[in-house]
Amino acid sequence: MKQRVPVSQIMSKELITLNPKQSLYEAEKLFKKNNIRHIPVVENLKLLGMLSYSDLLKISYADVDDSDEAGDASVSTVVYDMFSIPQIMTKAPLTVNTETTIKEVVEILAQQSFHSIPVVDHDEIKGIVTTTDILSYLLEQY
């Protein structure tokens, strides 16, 4: 296995982001449309927080299978109107920079309960690395 490979080699660079003024409805649409689980919340490329799909599930009691039954939609509608992205996002998430090694990222994720880490250089978001990115990298090594 290659040693000292920077996380910039495997991170997702084409980011889907939210700004703090967007609604939870918009966030949910982005999660579902792009089949992703983590979205950085940014303003002028500065990372403010991270929103995960599980954050939405926690507040909305939405079905994991994403069914569109009327009952599920009405629960989400009421709850989404009660909260904003800044209220439920993880504020000041742990970050790494583009030169952090994949091994260091794996060590961080192995000790934490989250599954993504924003990659930030000089206060500007550059990408996001997820457990899926790491698993894909490891598969390529075999």
What's this model's pTM, rounded to 2 decimal places?
A: 0.84
CATH number of 7-140: 3.10.580.10
Per-residue pLDDT of 87-140, as tens digits, reads 999 998 999 999 999 999 999 999 998 899 999 999 999 999 999 999 999 999
3 falls in which pLDDT band (50, 70, 90)?
Answer: confident
Q: Which residue has the higher pLDDT, 68 or 102?
A: 102
User: What are the helix (H) ranges across the chain?
Assistant: 24-34, 53-60, 70-82, 85-88, 102-111, 131-140
What is the H or E stretch that residue 90 is in?
A: strand 90-91
Tell me the two tokens of residue 30. Answer: 């982005």
54 contact partners, CB below 8 Å, separation of at least 6 = 37
Q: How confident is the model at residue 71 (pLDDT cuts 50, 70, 90)?
A: very low
pLDDT for the residue numbered 8? 96
Is residue 108 within 8 Å of residue 94, measured between CB atoms?
A: yes
Please report, in angstroms and rounded to a whole number, the separation of the first and last CA atoms in the chain.
9
Average of per-residue pLDDT across 15-44: 96
Residue 142: what pLDDT?
86
The proportion of the chain whose per-residue pLDDT surpasses 90, expressed as a percent, equals 74
Say how far apart CA 3 and CA 121 lie, in whole Å.
Answer: 22
Domain boundaries, the chain: 7-140
Query: Average pLDDT, whole number, for the chain?
Result: 88
pLDDT of residue 76: 59
Of 55, 47, 12, give the one whose Cα is nearest residue 31.
55
Q: Can you read off the two tokens belonging to residue 89?
A: 């996002």
Question: Assign residue 56 a region: left if phi > 0, alpha if psi is -120 to 50, beta otherwise?
Answer: alpha
